[in-house]
Amino acid sequence: MAASITHRGTGVGIYSVALLLTVWLYSLAFSPALYETITGFVNSPVGFMIIAGYIWALSFHLMNGLRHLYWDYGRGLAPKTATMTAWLIYGASILLTAFILWSGYAARGAA
C-alpha cells in the first residue's frame, strides 16, 4: 500500500518540478536575470535537495512502473512477493539516485 501511495506522490512531485524546469528553460531563452536567479537557487542547498528529490521521484516512479508492468502479466501479485518487491523498489531507487547524483557531480567539472 505504501508503494502505491508513494507512486502517486512521486507522480505529483515530478510534474511540480517539471514546472520549475520549464520556467528555468524559458528564462534561459528570454530573461538572463531570471535565469541567473533560478540558477543560484538550484545551486543552493535547498535546490540540491529539490534536485535529489526529483531524481529519486523519477527513479522510484520508473521502477514501480516496471513493477506494475510485471504485475500485468499476472506475476508477483502474492502479498509476500508484492511486499518484497516494494522494499526492493525503495532500496534500488535510493541507490540509483545516489549513483546519478554522484555521476552528475563527478562529471560537472569535466566539461
Q: Taking CA 91 as the corner, what is the angle to CA 99 and CA 19, rounded to the nearest 5 degrees?
A: 65
Predicted confidence band at 110 (pLDDT cuts at 50, 70, 90)? low
* Contact indicator for 64, 110 with CB cutoff of 8 Å: no
- Which residues, including other chains, have CB under 8 Å from residue 27's CB and lie 6 or more apart? 34, 35, 37, 38
| Dist CA 73 CA 25 (whole Å) | 40
Contact 63, 55 (CB under 8 A): no
Q: List pLDDT tens digits, range 1-51.
A: 888 899 999 999 999 999 988 998 999 999 999 999 998 998 999 999 999
Mind listing the domains of the chain with CATH numbers? 2-105 (1.20.1300.10)
Distance CA 94, CA 107 (A): 20
Q: CB of 54 within 8 A of CB of 17?
A: yes
pLDDT in tens, 51-79: 999 999 999 999 999 999 999 999 999 99
Q: How many helices (H) and strands (E) does the chain have?
A: 4, 0
pLDDT for 111 = 54
